[in-house]
Amino acid sequence: MDWFGGLKVLSLESRRADEMATLIQKYNGEVTVAPSMREQKLDLGAHLTRFETALAARDIHAVACMTGVGTKMFLRDLAARDPRHLETLKDVPLVARGNKPTQALKTFGLGGTTVPRPHTWHEVQAHLLETLEPGQHAVVLEHGDPTPPAMLRTLTGAGLRVTSIPVYRCAFPHDTGPLSQAVRDTALGGQDFLLLSSGTQLLHFLKFAGRLRLEDEVRAALGSMVVASIGPACSESASELGVRIDLEANPHKMGILVRAAAEHGPGLLRGRLAKTG
């Protein structure tokens, strides 16, 4: 099998950029990796103080861990204040939105409930509604973006008290040169595939295209490309941004994402070109 067959494949991966490039090359793709974001840690001082107070008062009835990165950052800072906090957390129901937060909890000797697939905020919300009573307090450790307003409205509407803690935010990379070039190449129709491992990657890509006054051109180009997502949460974010997902990795791993795109993407691309040609 020729896999990508030399077609052009764009990835917006940041932390695992080298690994992604190697995978795409393995499947015979002409790769462009343009890091689209960096994780910018926020000052947690005031949030940690309030969390400690509530923890000591036994006034935290669930902690929702939305990402592995955010969970590690938060627990590292909490343990630095007092390692005994981790012991206290063993008596608090911990809810993990997927395998990465679950692994992060294990790193600190903690266990939790992993919500069912597809591991989106909807499953976290459903679990909190099922397990908590009105008046109880849920803490949500945010990911790179704020907790979805719809989730906050639903939980508070059910009578829960919710504290959302912004652990980090996703910013543009320090070096935006590769991202700028990727936007321009895409706008000119120079890419065949876009592989996404998070919705924030696409959000930043479109935001940066807007900075360059090329968003309309990029959106038009994406309509002709094959866009592949690593999983339902990513696909949901793309849909909210108005971008169609053609393929979704299952299981939701980076290697599976690349293989699925290489195996099925060229056929989809040929079919699309035949219809428009």
- Per residue in 27-76, pLDDT tens? 999 999 999 999 888 889 999 999 999 999 999 999 999 988 889 999 99
pLDDT for res 24: 98
Q: Are residues 218 and 254 in the same domain?
A: yes
**Cβ neighbours of residue 250 under 8 Å, at least 6 residues apart?**
231, 256, 260
Q: Are residues 21 and 88 in the same domain?
A: no
The verdict on residue 33 lying in a domain is yes
Which domain covers residue 177, as residue numbers? 8-37+173-276
Q: Are residues 51 and 30 in the same domain?
A: no
Quick one: which H or E segment has residue 52? helix 45-56
Q: Are residues 201 and 261 in the same domain?
A: yes
Q: Are residues 205 and 227 in the same domain?
A: yes
The verdict on residue 235 lying in a domain is yes
Q: Are residues 148 and 226 in the same domain?
A: no
Strands 161-165 and 193-196: unpaired
Query: Based on the structure, what is the number of domains in the chain?
Result: 2
Residue pair 66/121 in contact (Cβ under 8 Å)? The answer is yes
Q: pTM for the whole thing?
A: 0.75
Alpha carbon distances (Å) from 176 to 182, 204, 257: 10, 11, 25
> How do residues 202-237 score in pLDDT, each as one tens digit?
999 999 999 999 999 999 999 999 999 999 889 988
Which of 154, 170, 186 is the endpoint of a domain? 170
Question: Tokens in use for 60?
Answer: 């935290």
Q: Kindly report the average pLDDT of the chain as a whole number.
A: 94
Which of 116, 149, 170 is the endpoint of a domain? 170
In DSSP notation, 195-262 reads: EES-HHHHHHHHHHHHHTT-HHHHHHHHTTSEEEESSHHHHHHHHHTT----EE-SS--HHHHHHHHH
Instruction: Give the CATH number of the domain where residue 124 resides.
Output: 3.40.50.10090
Which of 121, 150, 170 is the endpoint of a domain? 170
Q: Are residues 48 and 165 in the same domain?
A: yes
The verdict on residue 28 lying in a domain is yes
pLDDT for res 262: 97
Q: Are residues 140 and 233 in the same domain?
A: no
The verdict on residue 1 lying in a domain is no
Q: Are residues 81 and 98 in the same domain?
A: yes
The verdict on residue 150 lying in a domain is yes
Q: Are residues 92 and 126 in the same domain?
A: yes
> How do residues 258-270 score in pLDDT, each as one tens digit?
999 999 999 999 9
Percent of the chain at pLDDT > 70 equals 99
Residue pair 125/160 in contact (Cβ under 8 Å)? The answer is no
> How do residues 149-196 score in pLDDT, each as one tens digit?
999 999 999 999 999 999 888 899 999 999 999 999 999 999 999 999
Which of helix, strand or coil describes residue 144?
coil
The verdict on residue 109 lying in a domain is yes
* Ramachandran quadrant class, 249 (left: phi over 0; alpha: psi -120 to 50; beta: rest): beta
